[in-house]
């Protein structure tokens, strides 16, 4: 179809009529979407003519767009110049693909208010800590490893029999006992685990409470084995409640995401990277997280499989990478539709392998940073749970991404948490097992204090011990924010005091003996600080980069306006020169600022690399 009369007239008006026959074979759409690089094909090589043609296309496209805005028709797009108006804020998404997300601020939706109701007598305690031992596996048996863990289910304690060697090479057993709310041995089924952990939380959910269930432990200790069946199993119970007339107004929504390093990915939406932002009320919102309405256990099963399939897996096998990420499945009960009021929520959290915090001196930087982030998040998590239990006013949610996004599962008088500490029974895992038990012990330690003081579990009244304990929790929370102690020093030294005297400066660090002199301590401390700085700066740099692009686009917009204006008859060239000068200066300043940030960041990366190199020979001691 030949060009329409409107376009032919446009060519004439622009003094381009001599090219008209060359365009004759084109349709209107082809003509309008022509790129500047195509001009030569139609004989338009003269610079002035190229500019004329460019301007004509721009004007025609604008006209088409205006018309289609009014009439809802198709948009014509010019590809040569980024047409900012046409793309609105989505331009970068078009230009750079889905990996790039722009202006997430605009997307923040306020989350529903937490609904708080008085406790009912049937409520589970605020925090329960349950330990689960897995059986020795074939590989461990083949290696002739011993089962060194005894779980006493009746009396709810575990004993770790650590084999030690004296100076004269005689062996002896160091016995470590830890008490928990429940101790589950390797004969216990997943159904039993459900009954003692999540089942009581379903009640919480229908009492408008928030609930969370964590699996903590080293890689291979059974976290995923333990966590995987829990959401589906609980859904069966939840559906029963939902079927009651009383709860007809509630709907179940499911979401699932993964925190890897300090990034968040939607596991039910092709691993889309999500942004975490604060809304107007300083609450953290995971922007754009996909939620599915689930009305049957079958539908939930398919979603869970989808989520599990999307979890990070590397070439070295599923556990290698999933052990470096926290995966979180959330069930929300809402009144009405997706945007309905949030009534309650339960989160199932399969934490990153607790030994990962000790990745700090691994060869590549990415692994080191991930290790530092995991360390930080597990420490912050412990402090949040402790603060929750003590009703402390200051809860250090901001300590990590993990705790920030779980904030709304912790707040409110009705929040309930179950921590499952998974442990391996084999002798080679003894350090990790002890570290896990110490961590779990610390989580519930504060409550134990309270129980001793106040057996009835009523309010502490004027008991000064209570307030001392709360203050201690707060202090430790502060210490998490500004780690002044070397994070890696968890291995040795602490064991002798027994579980209750442990002052763990970290959740992890297992396997590597305690570093020697204070020089080394200093280097470790410096390294930890550096990793923290890098993690923070990385985020700031990326945010600054995003903002820089937005500013650049704003400037390009001004430049385009400027060009349009200068083409108008009677435009003042002085004004054009001044404004262009200003725009170019602004551009240069923007680039210089971003570059300065980048250089500083690069400097810190280098410094971290240097510290690592200094430390590396010690690793293999």
Determine, following the binding rule CB under 6 A, whether residue 222 of this chain makes contact with ligand ADP.
yes
Determine phi and psi for 368, rounding to 5 degrees. -65, -45
Positions at the binding site for ATP? 217-224
HSE (side-chain half, CA atoms, 13 Å) at 465:
11
Residue range at the interface with Mg ion (CB under 5 A); choices 33-41, 67-75, 320-328, 447-455: 320-328
| Cβ–Cβ < 8 Å for 197, 404 | no
Site string for Mg ion, 209-238 (x = CB under 5 A): --------------xx--------------
3-state secondary structure 157-201: EEEEEEEEECCCCCEEEEEEEEECCEEECCCCCHHHHHHHCCHHH
Phi, psi of 174 (to 5 degrees): -95, 120
| Residue 224: CB minimum distance to ligand ADP, A | 3
CB atoms within 10 A of CB 571: 13
Dist. CA 465–CA 505, nearest whole Å: 23
Q: Which does 225 bind (CB under 5 to 8 A by kind): Mg ion, ligand ADP, none?
A: ligand ADP
Judged by CB under 6 A, the stretch of 31-39, 120-128, 134-142, 599-607 that binds ligand ADP is 134-142
**538-577: contacts with ligand ADP (CB under 6 A):** none
Q: In what order do the strands lie in the sheet with 171-179?
A: 149-152, 157-165, 171-179
Nearer to ligand ADP, 192 or 526 (CB): 192
Candidate list 310, 323, 435, 494; residue touching ligand ADP; CB under 6 A:
323
Nearer to Mg ion, 356 or 546 (CB): 356
Q: Pick from 10, 124, 209, 217: which binds ligand ADP (CB under 6 A)?
A: 217
Residue 453 CB coordination number (10 Å):
14
Helix axis angle, 430-453 to 464-481, nearest 10°: 150
- Which is nearer to ligand ADP, 28 or 321 (by Cβ)? 321
Q: Decide the pairing of beta strands 272-278 and 284-287.
A: antiparallel
The encoded tokens of residue 358 equal 């000790």
Q: Which CB sits closer to Mg ion, 276 or 329?
A: 329
Distance between CA atoms of residues 131 and 423, nearest Å: 7
Nearer to Mg ion, 216 or 253 (CB): 216
CA distance 573 to 555: 19
What are the Cα distances from residue 281, in Å, to 369, 390, 393? 30, 24, 17
Check binding of 327 to Mg ion (CB under 5 A).
no
The answer to whether 424 contacts Mg ion (rule: CB under 5 A) is no
Rounded to the nearest 10 degrees, how much is the dihedral formed by the CA atoms of 579, 583, 589, 592?
-140
Rg (CA), the chain: 31
231: partner contacted, choices ligand ADP, Mg ion, none (Cβ within 5-8 A by kind): none
Instruction: Select from 435, 503, 360 the least CA-distant residue to 160.
Output: 435
What string marks each residue from 331 to 370 as x (binds ligand ADP by CB under 6 A) or -?
A: ----------------------x-----------------
CA separation, residue 123 to residues 28, 205, 365, 600 (Å): 70, 10, 46, 52
Comparing CB distances to Mg ion, the nearer of 224 and 375 is 224
Question: Contacting ligand ADP (CB under 6 A), which of 61, 197, 212, 224?
Answer: 224
Give the single-character DSSP code of 365. Answer: H
221 in contact with ligand ADP (CB under 6 A)? yes
Cβ-based nearer residue to Mg ion, 219 or 390: 219
The position carrying tokens 């002085």 is: 574
User: x-or-dash pattern for ligand ADP, window 187-206, by CB under 6 A?
Assistant: --------------------
Which lies closer to ligand ADP via its Cβ, residue 371 or residue 515?
371
Instruction: Decide which of Mg ion, ligand ADP, none touches 399; Cβ closer than 5 to 8 Å per partner kind.
Output: none
Annotated binding site: 217-224
CB nearest ligand ADP: which residue?
Answer: 222
Least distance in angstroms from the C-beta of 368 to Mg ion: 21
354 binds Mg ion (CB under 5 A): no
Contacting residue, 42, 225, 247, 292, with ligand ADP by CB under 6 A: 225
The window from 29-37, 321-329, 382-390, 527-535 that contacts Mg ion (CB under 5 A) reads 321-329
Q: How many CA atoms lie within 13 A of 605 on its CB side?
A: 13
Q: Is residue 223 within the footprint of ligand ADP (CB under 6 A)?
A: yes
Within 10 A of 69 (CB to CB), how many other CB atoms are there? 10
- Check: CB of residue 358 under 8 Å from CB of residue 524: no
Residue 422: name its binding partner from ligand ADP, Mg ion, none (Cβ under 5 to 8 Å by kind).
Answer: ligand ADP
- Pairwise CA distance, residues 465 & 485, whole Å: 26
Residue 224 or residue 255: which is nearer to Mg ion going by CB? 224
CB 552 → ligand ADP: shortest distance, Å?
A: 44
By CB under 6 A, tell whether 135 contacts ligand ADP: yes
Cβ-proximal residue to Mg ion, closest one:
224
Part in contact with ligand ADP (CB under 6 A); list of ranges 98-106, 196-204, 217-225, 541-549: 217-225
Rounded to an integer, what distance in angstroms lies between the CA atom of residue 379 and that of residue 373?
A: 10
**CA distances from residue 378 to 214, 320, 330, 572 in whole angstroms, order as listed:** 11, 18, 19, 63
Contact between 380 and 400 (Cβ < 8 Å): yes
Q: Which of 219, 275, 310, 347 binds ligand ADP (CB under 6 A)?
A: 219
Q: How far is the CB of 222 from ligand ADP (least distance, A)?
A: 3
Determine if 197 is a binding residue for Mg ion (CB under 5 A): no
Q: Which is nearer to ligand ADP, 132 or 283 (CB)?
A: 132
DSSP 112: P
Count of residues touching ligand ADP (by CB under 6 A): 16
Q: How far apart are CA 407 and CA 401, in angstroms?
A: 10
* 422 lines the binding site for ligand ADP (CB under 6 A): yes
C-alpha to C-alpha distances, 457 to 208, 346, 461, nearest whole angstrom? 22, 25, 11
**Nearer residue to ligand ADP within complex by CB, 196 or 594:** 196
Shortest reach from residue 357's CB to Mg ion, in Å: 16
- What is the C-alpha separation between 84 and 564, in angstroms, rounded? 14
- Looking at the Cβ atoms of 318 and 451, the one nearer to ligand ADP is 318
> Smallest gap, in angstroms, from Cβ of residue 54 to ligand ADP?
59
On whether the CB atoms of residues 77 and 83 are closer than 8 A, the answer is yes
d(CA 210, CA 208): 7
Which of 537, 538, 620 shows the shortest CA–CA distance to 362?
A: 620
User: Which residues of this protein are in contact with ligand ADP, per CB under 6 A?
Assistant: 134-135, 137, 186, 217, 219-225, 319, 323, 353, 422
Site residues for Mg ion per CB under 5 A: 223-224, 322
């Amino acid at each position: 179809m030949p060009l329409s009369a409107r376009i032919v007239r446009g060519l004439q008006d622009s003094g381009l009529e001599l090219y008209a026959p060359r365009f004759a074979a084109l349709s209107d759409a082809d003509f309008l979407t022509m790129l500047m690089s195509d001009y030569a094909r139609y004989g338009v090589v003269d610079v002035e003519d190229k500019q004329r043609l460019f301007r004509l296309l721009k004007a025609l496209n604008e006209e088409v767009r205006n018309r289609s805005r009014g009439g809802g028709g198709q948009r014509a797009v010019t590809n040569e110049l980024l047409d900012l108006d046409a793309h609105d804020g989505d331009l970068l998404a078009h230009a750079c693909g889905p990996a790039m997300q722009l202006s997430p601020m605009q997307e923040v939706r306020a989350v529903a208010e937490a609904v708080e109701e008085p406790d009912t007598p049937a409520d589970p305690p605020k925090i329960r800590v349950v330990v689960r031992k897995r059986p020795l596996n074939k590989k461990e048996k083949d290696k002739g490893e011993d089962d060194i863990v005894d779980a006493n289910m009746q009396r709810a304690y575990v004993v770790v029999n650590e084999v030690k060697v004296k100076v004269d090479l005689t062996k002896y057993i160091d016995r470590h006992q830890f008490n928990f709310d429940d101790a589950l041995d390797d004969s216990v089924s997943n159904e039993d685990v459900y009954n003692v952990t999540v089942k009581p939380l379903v009640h919480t959910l229908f009492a408008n409470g928030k609930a969370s269930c964590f699996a903590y432990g080293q890689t291979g200790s059974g976290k995923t084995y333990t966590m995987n069946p829990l959401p589906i199993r609980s859904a069966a119970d939840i559906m029963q409640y939902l079927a009651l007339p009383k709860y007809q107004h509630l709907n179940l929504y499911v979401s699932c995401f993964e925190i890897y390093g300090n990034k968040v990915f939607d596991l039910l939406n092709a691993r889309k990277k999500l942004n975490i932002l604060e809304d107007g009320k300083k609450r953290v919102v995971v922007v754009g997280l996909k939620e599915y309405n689930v009305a049957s256990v079958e539908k939930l099963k398919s979603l869970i499989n989808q989520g599990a399939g999307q979890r990070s897996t590397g070439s070295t096998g599923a556990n290698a990478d999933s052990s470096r990420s926290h995966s979180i499945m959330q069930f929300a009960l809402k009144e009405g539709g997706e945007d309905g009021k949030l009534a309650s929520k339960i989160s199932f959290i399969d934490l990153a392998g607790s030994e990962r915090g000790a990745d700090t001196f691994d060869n590549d930087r990415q692994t080191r940073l991930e290790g530092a982030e995991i360390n930080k998040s597990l420490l912050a998590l412990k402090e949040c749970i402790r603060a929750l239990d003590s009703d402390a006013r200051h809860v250090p949610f901001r300590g990590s991404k993990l705790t920030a996004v779980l904030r709304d599962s912790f707040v409110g008088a009705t929040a309930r948490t179950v921590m499952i500490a998974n442990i391996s029974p084999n002798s080679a895992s003894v350090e990790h097992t002890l570290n896990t038990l110490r961590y779990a012990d610390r989580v519930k330690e504060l409550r134990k204090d309270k129980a001793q003081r106040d057996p009835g579990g009523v309010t502490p009244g004027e008991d000064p011990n209570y307030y001392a304990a709360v203050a201690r929790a707060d202090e430790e929370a502060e210490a998490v924010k500004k780690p002044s102690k070397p994070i890696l020093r968890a291995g040795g030294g602490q064991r002798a005091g027994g579980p209750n005297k442990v002052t763990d400066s970290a959740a992890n660090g297992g396997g590597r003996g305690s570093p020697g002199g204070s020089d080394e301590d200093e280097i470790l401390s410096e390294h930890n600080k550096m990793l923290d700085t890098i993690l923070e700066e990385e985020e700031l740099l990326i945010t600054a980069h995003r903002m820089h692009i937005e500013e650049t686009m704003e400037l390009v917009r001004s430049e385009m306006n400027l060009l349009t204006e200068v083409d108008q008859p009677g435009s003042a060239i002085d004004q054009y020169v001044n404004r262009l000068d200003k725009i170019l200066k602004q551009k240069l300043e923007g680039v210089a600022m971003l570059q300065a940030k980048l250089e500083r960041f690069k400097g810190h990366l280098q410094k971290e690399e240097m510290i690592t190199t200094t430390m590396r020979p010690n690793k293999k001691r």
